[in-house]
Structure 1
Amino acid sequence: MIYPQNFEQKIGFTQIKQLLAGKCLSSLGKERVEEMTFSDNYADINRRLEQTVEFMRILQEENEFPSQYFFDVRPSLKRIRVEGMYMDEQEVFDLRRSLETIRDIVRFLQVTDDTEDEPSSPYPYLWELAGDVLVFPQLIARINDILDKFGKVKDNASAELLRIRRELSATTGSISRSLNSILRAAQAEGYVDKDVTPTMRDGRLVIPVAPGMKRKIRGIVHDESATGKTVFIEPTEVVEANNRIRELEGEERREIIRILTEFSAVVRPQVPALLQSYEFLAEIDFIRSKALFSIEIKAVKPAFENRQTIDWFEAIHPLLQISLAKHGKKVVPLDIVLTPRQRILLISGPNAGGKSVCLKTVGLLQYMLQCGMPVPMNERSHAGIFSNLFIDIGDEQSIEDDLSTYSSHLTNMKIMMKNCDARSLILIDEFGGGTEPQIGGAIAEAVLKRFNAKQTFGVITTHYQNLKHFAEDHEGVVNGAMLYDRHEMRALFQLQIGNPGSSFAVEIARKIGLPEEVIADASEIVGSEYIQSDKYLQDIVRDKRYWETKRQNIRKREKQMEDTISRYEQEIAELERSRKEILKKAKEDAERLLQESNAKIENTIRTIKETQAEKERTRQARQELNDFRRQMEDESKAALEEKIAKKMEKLREKQERKKEKKAQRQTASSAQPAEPKVLPIEVGTYVRIKGQTSTGQVLEINGKNAVVMFGLMKTNVKTERLERTEAPKQPSLSTKTSFVSNETQDQMYEKKLNFKQDIDVRGMRGDEAIQAVTYFIDDAILVGMNRVRILHGTGNGILRTLIRQYLATVPGVAHFQDEHVQFGGAGITVVDLK
């Protein structure tokens, strides 16, 4: 249960929804955002949280997630369920692209492990969501047979359409030739200007003629220009051919409709399954928007438990965080704990000290969590689940219902007492306010007693002293205070649980400049005992804050000591391990040496026996061998000790070097970085386009332009778009040479996909048009286009002349000419690129 109905608006969740909707790719996701609801089902909430966390990983770690073409074609699919209805070209085009997106998403989520028979995925919750979603490969193939890559019906979509378009092309060519012949004759006679070309009016090819010469050419006047200086005549010789074109265009439209109707009939039986796949696309769009928002506010999934608990560290109100970040400020994090022994937190403290923000933070984060959204807090936090959320905040005065502010608060209290239980969370701001303080405080205490008896969880703000005393005397209710710096007279916006807070009324009144005699009079009215108790309360809070800071510092020092001790213990263990390894190796070397010595001794004895030497001689030989053995043992022991000493010395030197390097890094990090020297770009220097990774070499510089060789490609680039870089490393002979990096290839592929083959420079000044065409031609050469079109209009022909003069100087331009008269004639220049 959520109470009241405008709960989302009161805690700010409505704004969260607006931010989420702004991150959706289509109306599919926006609908899901609007439908997002509170849940108290643990498994459902946990699943939604895990889906969002997995998508956060995708956004942070992956670059290839299919996020294009999230089209909502559901209205079109629902419309064609009626027999005879059909989808138009654009709708079929959107259907194809969105189905390809659904297919690519399913493939992305499914990663097959060669060692297993079943497909596995690094994103199990999202893969479970994909489940049995159909991807319709046959339907995509059928659309590919009908539409080209630009979404237009192909010529060979049917034999009849191919025949119509071929005849249309032939007829158009015939008209063009006839018009050009008539136009040349008229130009020779002086009826028409030399630079005039045929144009289109109402779908018919006509010749522009001055009004005074319109009777010189036999034909039909179709239109005149806005200024009245030009009339458009359709010569008699081409009237029939133009009529035939109109007929063919009608036949073409009817054939396209027939093809689309036939295709829609194929789609019709599959509409239910298609709609189910688009529900999956909507869910993906929705989860993606939640993941993007979670990354923006640095949200996490805390330890989520199927019980009633709030144990949050460094919790932050996301809307307040976004608002303060715009002004370069930071939110003071909230630490709050509600347990079965301390279920209701009673927060007191000065006005504008953050009590209401604390209450709204608890309400908003708990609601976000139970809507399946990660929340901005420390990941070691623990969060629980509540079945009912109630809030009473703000002025609920209603003229229509004849309710005062206090009556409205009491109505809310009645509903809360009736419906709350041990699985409920209540949020009340200014508990008991709005009426005479003494009776208001008494009623508030009686209501609080009922809440506590029902073992309800809650966060309540108040100024009443009797409620603070109630919290001290009853288990289940605990005091909390919003801290205030009495010396600097400013709120610290920090919650401290365990002691009530002072309202600091006297101090605040003195700070804003209320006359001292007024403050003294007020203190006398309320009584010295109250003033003293408030002062003692302030001192207790101050002392607690002081000792809390001390305790935190001590814990911090202890942690540092533990880390230091642990590090030294690891170093000692490493030294001991190294020492044992050295001893072991030395003993092995000594043992080997002794074995060699023993072998020598035995050989000597065998030699003595074989030569049958005298006993005295044998005894002397054995004595010499024993002396040699002892000498070898002494030398081995000395060598062993010397080797161990050297090894230990090397280890100590290594530790000293590590410490010196660490100190140098700390010194370097504290020093201000030197301002880098910007070197000029010259011929022969290696450069790259800002924001790009490919390295090229400057061949020549012409004013503000530079000719740069990128791999095997020569390009004109503004010098201001370039930055110097190091020369590329020469690949070894054993390495396959690659002139263009994978990242650059990806960027070029993306640029090629988005590149438009037409540019419109009409209305531009000459220098603006030349600059635009320069960039356009450079980009066309880069992406490997064979042909592009420049729309400059006819006019006086100045812009056309300038552009063609420039094109004649570009090495990458193979040829340029007027467009076909049907498609613009001399008003468009067609450029063929090498």
Structure 2
Amino acid sequence: MLYPTTLEHKLGFDTIRQRLKEACISPLGQDYVDKIRFTDNSQLIDKLLRQTDEFRQIVQFETDFPSSNYIDIRAHLSRARVEGLALSEAEFFDIKLALRTVQDCFRFLAKRAETNAFPYLRELAQMGGTGATGVDKKLTDAIERVIDDRGLVRDSASPELASIRRRIISEQANLRKRLDSILRQARQNGWIPDDLSLTVRGGRLVIPIAAEHKRKIKGFVHDESQTGQTVFLEPAEVFDANNEIRELEYEERREIHRILLALTDQLRPHLEEVRKAVNFLAQIDFIRAKAKLALQLDAVLPKLVDRPLIDWTNARHPLLFLSFQKPVPNADGSPGERKSVVPLSVRLDEKARILIISGPNAGGKSVALKTIGLIQYMLQCGMLVPMADFSEMGVFQNLFIDIGDEQSLENDLSTYSSHLTAMKQFVIGANKRTLFLIDEFGTGTEPGLGGAIAESILEELNKSAAYGVINTHYTNLKVFADKTPGLVNGAMRFDGEHLEPLYQLEIGRPGSSFAFEIAQKIGLPKGVIERAKEKLGNQQVNFEKLLKELDIERRVFAEKNLEIGINQRKAAQQLAEYTALKTRLDNEQKQLINDAKQKAKSLVQEANQRIENTIREIKENKAEREPTKQVRQELEKFDRTQLQPEALIVEKPQAVEDEFETDGGVIGVGSYVRIAGQNAIGQVQSMRGKDAEVRIGDLKSNVKLNRLEKVSRKEFRNATEKKDDTPRSRGMDINEKMQNFNFNLDIRGKRGEEAIGEVDRFVDDALMLGFPELRIVHGKGDGILRTLVRNHLRGYKQVARMADEHADRGGAGVTVVTMK
């Protein structure tokens, strides 16, 4: 049940109908647009949605589907029912083209049957035609044999017609020769200008001749020019030839009528068959129009459930979305920026069936209400809807709305009376499969009384287990929703600092009307505002103030939570990297130990085997000297080659000879010196003649003075500083991958294979690093790359959901991936 009767107009679905009609190719599809009806049959809705979704794929990716000659031949078929009536050549030509289009559609779908593509459209083809070939082939062959591709009856339609047309051609050729001769003679005499030639008047060949010379050629004047200077004359000597041609043309016309009459009689038994084919053509035109509109709206096929449910993500008002496609021109006439629709996310289920939306005026409450009503109505009319493809939509039996003013002078209804009349219908007809939408609940009368009545009505609607969305400013309804099971508050977000609406719905808390703040921004005198607060009372003012403060605190804590979440992800990522590194090192250590044990085991086995062989050979040779010596040598060789430890190759760093600056002067006790040709630097402790006792580190040595070079204290200090030359092992930097990872991936302009490869690497890194949310920038375009990426991501069991980015940050051109 729908209420009121003007529901489609109030929701804007009449505009959707008009756009569908404009998308149709012929009146066939337009008639189906007029037949669109709201239904609660979930199986029918699912079939209609899947047909449209399949055709959307055809429009996007299949270029060879027939797109012309969707001709409405229903009137022709009605005329063909009359016995003794023959259809015209033009009517049969329309029938020929329409049936050809039907057969092309059938052939297209039959080719895809091998891959099981488009199953719902193939089912429609079987129901709309008489099997895979559509209309009886004998009928189509007969029409093809009679009517050519210009819409005329073929010469070969009958032997009589072919003979008549040959005679007409022959007579016309003879007649033209005779007239050409007369025309040349008249031109030589100057009676006819050189730029004139033979023409036809009244179906007869005539000669154009100057009016002053018309009596110089005997004949009959058929016509004259607008100026009267030229007359069109049929010479008397070709009267008989023209008459003969005219009689042949009459004979041709009678033969054509006979052929068309016979063809009409052949068509008449197949009229029902052809009517079904035309009906299939009409449905294809209609479904194509829905698919085209779905592409314009970026609409999708949501998950359909056969119970009342609204679980929508990023739903967009269809008409608002279409109106924003064209940029609004600036005041100077230059093209402005294209606006974007703020998406709506809402959920109504058994625990929270009725949503009470509050907030400031012009904050988007009515648009949100109409978005819910229009999208639900479109779905239950079999149309794809603009929202995220993982959204869930239920089916409702009743749809009631109270939007706008139903004031009626004829019915003596005021605004409030019209609202109460609607509420009476809601309370009487509401049940657990009802969706109701109420705008400005309880307004139109004294606020105290209106709020009380509205609360009582809301209580009755809640008892009926109906689902609904209500817009209101009444505080008592917000409090009632907060305390009553089955009801939930919602608010249209508002920027309290800049006093601007954000048009975003937030479920879980009531909203403030911001009446005083808006009045202050408009410039209402401060004294007026203060007196209004006094008149309102402290309780209400404090309530509004509390809502405002809660909104500010919510934004602050949201930012803090975001920062904490980032830090937690970083900590979790570092822990995961440390754990992975430790596990890898432990496994490598175990592997080395296992390899060493295995090799030792094999060496021991081989050594034991050789010892046993040696003992056996010594016994067999009875301890003879030479054989025993040879056996011992072989055993010693095995020990040297197999059992000795491998020498480790340690690369020593090459010493780089330091360059020292000498310090001129006499060497004495306490001087810093260097032994010539060496890098060692020490200090002179004592001197004995030409010898000096030099302390180098912990060693003392006597060195000749001529072998010493004096250096400065700075060089001594630099040379004696301890250097750490110990080689260090290098490992993986566990933070490097985290620092270099970017949760944004831009694949615009890439081919499908390249994009999928990059997406796989991107998701693998994100899973390893523990990122909960990713952004993939693919652009809008025709939506092909976006569809390809999302279909591929559905294969990841770690992906929890996908959604379009906020409209201000890329909208449908960016997919936000949430990981489990």
Q: TM-score, normalised by structure 1?
A: 0.71
Amino acid at match of 1:41: N
Identify the residue that residue 295 of structure 2 maps to in structure 1.
295
More divergent stretch after superposition (655-664 vs 419-428): 655-664
Identify the residue that residue 167 of structure 1 maps to in structure 2.
167
Identify the residue that residue 33 of structure 1 maps to in structure 2.
33
Maintained 8 Å contact 2:614/2:631: no
Structure 2 distance, partners of 1:384, 1:352, is 29
Equivalent position to 2:121, from 112, 117, 126 = 126
Amino acid at match of 2:631: T
Please state whether the residue corresponding to 2:487 is helix, strand or coil: strand
Structure 1 distance, partners of 2:453, 2:277, is 56
Structure 1 residue 628 and structure 2 residue 641: aligned?
yes
**Compared with structure 1, are the counterparts of its residues 268 and 600 closer, same or farther at alpha carbon in structure 2 (3 Å cutoff)?**
farther
More divergent stretch after superposition (501-510 vs 660-669): 660-669
**Compared with structure 1, are the counterparts of its residues 586 and 168 closer, same or farther at alpha carbon in structure 2 (3 Å cutoff)?**
farther
> What is the CA distance between 1:405 and its match in structure 2?
0.8
Deviations 1:310-359 (A, max 9, x none): 11111110101111232310011111111212111111111111111111
Maintained 8 Å contact 2:358/2:472: yes
- After the TM superposition, which residues 618-657 of structure 1 pair with which residues of structure 2 at under 5 Å, given as runs? 618-630=631-643, 634=646
> What is the CA distance between 1:14 and its match in structure 2?
0.8
**Compared with structure 1, are the counterparts of its residues 297 and 604 closer, same or farther at alpha carbon in structure 2 (3 Å cutoff)?**
farther
Structure 1 residue 615 and structure 2 residue 628: aligned?
yes
Structure 1 distance, partners of 2:160, 2:587, is 86
Deviations 1:543-602 (A, max 9, x none): 224334544565577678879998999999999999999999999999999999999999
Identify the residue that residue 258 of structure 1 maps to in structure 2.
258
> What is the CA distance between 1:61 and its match in structure 2?
2.4
Amino acid at match of 1:352: A
Identify the residue that residue 681 of structure 1 maps to in structure 2.
none
Equivalent position to 1:378, from 388, 391, 399 = 388
Amino acid at match of 1:274: V
Identify the residue that residue 349 of structure 2 maps to in structure 1.
339
Maintained 8 Å contact 1:575/1:651: no
Structure 2 distance, partners of 1:310, 1:663, is 31
> What is the CA distance between 1:27 and its match in structure 2?
1.2
Percent identical: 46
**Compared with structure 1, are the counterparts of its residues 495 and 80 closer, same or farther at alpha carbon in structure 2 (3 Å cutoff)?**
same
Amino acid at match of 1:476: G
Structure 2 distance, partners of 1:100, 1:572, is 72
Structure 1 distance, partners of 2:344, 2:628, is 98
**Compared with structure 1, are the counterparts of its residues 605 and 180 closer, same or farther at alpha carbon in structure 2 (3 Å cutoff)?**
farther
Identify the residue that residue 456 of structure 2 maps to in structure 1.
446
Please state whether the residue corresponding to 1:347 is helix, strand or coil: strand
- After the TM superposition, which residues 589-608 of structure 1 pair with which residues of structure 2 at under 5 Å, given as runs? none
Deviations 1:139-190 (A, max 9, x none): 2222221122222211111111101111111111111111111111112222
Structure 2 distance, partners of 1:131, 1:582, is 69
Q: Which runs of 5+ in 2 are unaligned?
A: 328-337, 651-728, 750-820
Amino acid at match of 1:209: I
> What is the CA distance between 1:436 and its match in structure 2?
1.1
Please state whether the residue corresponding to 2:324 is helix, strand or coil: helix
Maintained 8 Å contact 2:573/2:738: no
Maintained 8 Å contact 2:321/2:340: yes
State the Cα RMSD in Å.
4.2
Structure 1 distance, partners of 2:265, 2:373, is 52
Please state whether the residue corresponding to 1:200 is helix, strand or coil: strand
**Compared with structure 1, are the counterparts of its residues 202 and 502 closer, same or farther at alpha carbon in structure 2 (3 Å cutoff)?**
same
Identify the residue that residue 487 of structure 1 maps to in structure 2.
497
Structure 1 residue 543 and structure 2 residue 556: aligned?
no
* Max Rg structure: 2
Deviations 1:371-413 (A, max 9, x none): 1111111122221111100001111110111111111111111
Structure 1 residue 406 and structure 2 residue 416: aligned?
yes
Structure 2 distance, partners of 1:652, 1:567, is 10
Structure 2 distance, partners of 1:259, 1:575, is 93
Structure 2 distance, partners of 1:558, 1:535, is 34
**Compared with structure 1, are the counterparts of its residues 248 and 523 closer, same or farther at alpha carbon in structure 2 (3 Å cutoff)?**
same
Amino acid at match of 1:527: G
Structure 2 distance, partners of 1:406, 1:283, is 44
Structure 2 distance, partners of 1:541, 1:396, is 35
**Compared with structure 1, are the counterparts of its residues 101 and 492 closer, same or farther at alpha carbon in structure 2 (3 Å cutoff)?**
same
Please state whether the residue corresponding to 1:232 is helix, strand or coil: strand
Maintained 8 Å contact 2:490/2:508: yes
Structure 2 distance, partners of 1:156, 1:65, is 32
Structure 2 distance, partners of 1:218, 1:336, is 92
Structure 2 distance, partners of 1:664, 1:462, is 41
Maintained 8 Å contact 2:112/2:118: no
Equivalent position to 1:475, from 474, 485, 503 = 485
Identify the residue that residue 142 of structure 1 maps to in structure 2.
142
Structure 2 distance, partners of 1:138, 1:38, is 41
Please state whether the residue corresponding to 1:110 is helix, strand or coil: helix
Aligned positions, number: 652
> What is the CA distance between 1:87 and its match in structure 2?
2.4
> What is the CA distance between 1:512 and its match in structure 2?
1.4
Q: Which runs of 5+ in 1 are unaligned?
A: 114-118, 640-648, 670-834
Identify the residue that residue 682 of structure 2 maps to in structure 1.
none
Amino acid at match of 1:494: Q
Maintained 8 Å contact 1:499/1:541: no
Identify the residue that residue 431 of structure 1 maps to in structure 2.
441
> What is the CA distance between 1:540 and its match in structure 2?
1.4
Identify the residue that residue 323 of structure 1 maps to in structure 2.
323
> What is the CA distance between 1:462 and its match in structure 2?
0.8
**Compared with structure 1, are the counterparts of its residues 506 and 625 closer, same or farther at alpha carbon in structure 2 (3 Å cutoff)?**
same
Identify the residue that residue 277 of structure 2 maps to in structure 1.
277
**Compared with structure 1, are the counterparts of its residues 99 and 332 closer, same or farther at alpha carbon in structure 2 (3 Å cutoff)?**
same
Maintained 8 Å contact 1:32/1:283: yes
Maintained 8 Å contact 1:32/1:282: yes
- After the TM superposition, which residues 106-255 of structure 1 pair with which residues of structure 2 at under 5 Å, given as runs? 106-111=106-111, 121-132=116-127, 133-134=129-130, 135-136=134-135, 137-255=137-255
Deviations 1:18-41 (A, max 9, x none): 111111111111111111111111
Structure 2 distance, partners of 1:495, 1:523, is 28
Deviations 1:282-313 (A, max 9, x none): 11211111111111111112221111111111
Please state whether the residue corresponding to 2:38 is helix, strand or coil: coil
Maintained 8 Å contact 1:390/1:416: yes
Equivalent position to 2:430, from 407, 420, 431 = 420
Structure 2 distance, partners of 1:271, 1:55, is 28
> What is the CA distance between 1:8 and its match in structure 2?
0.7
Structure 2 distance, partners of 1:439, 1:74, is 60
Please state whether the residue corresponding to 2:504 is helix, strand or coil: strand
Please state whether the residue corresponding to 1:86 is helix, strand or coil: coil
Structure 1 residue 520 and structure 2 residue 534: aligned?
no
Structure 2 distance, partners of 1:665, 1:274, is 54
**Compared with structure 1, are the counterparts of its residues 34 and 522 closer, same or farther at alpha carbon in structure 2 (3 Å cutoff)?**
same
Identify the residue that residue 679 of structure 1 maps to in structure 2.
none
Amino acid at match of 2:120: Y
Maintained 8 Å contact 1:315/1:333: yes
Maintained 8 Å contact 2:610/2:635: no
**Compared with structure 1, are the counterparts of its residues 600 and 186 closer, same or farther at alpha carbon in structure 2 (3 Å cutoff)?**
farther
Structure 2 distance, partners of 1:362, 1:390, is 12
Structure 1 residue 503 and structure 2 residue 498: aligned?
no
Please state whether the residue corresponding to 1:621 is helix, strand or coil: helix
Maintained 8 Å contact 1:324/1:330: yes
Identify the residue that residue 390 of structure 1 maps to in structure 2.
400
Structure 2 distance, partners of 1:230, 1:120, is 70
Maintained 8 Å contact 1:421/1:456: yes
> What is the CA distance between 1:463 and its match in structure 2?
1.0
**Compared with structure 1, are the counterparts of its residues 124 and 593 closer, same or farther at alpha carbon in structure 2 (3 Å cutoff)?**
farther
> What is the CA distance between 1:15 and its match in structure 2?
0.6
More divergent stretch after superposition (59-68 vs 289-298): 59-68
- After the TM superposition, which residues 82-121 of structure 1 pair with which residues of structure 2 at under 5 Å, given as runs? 82-111=82-111, 121=116
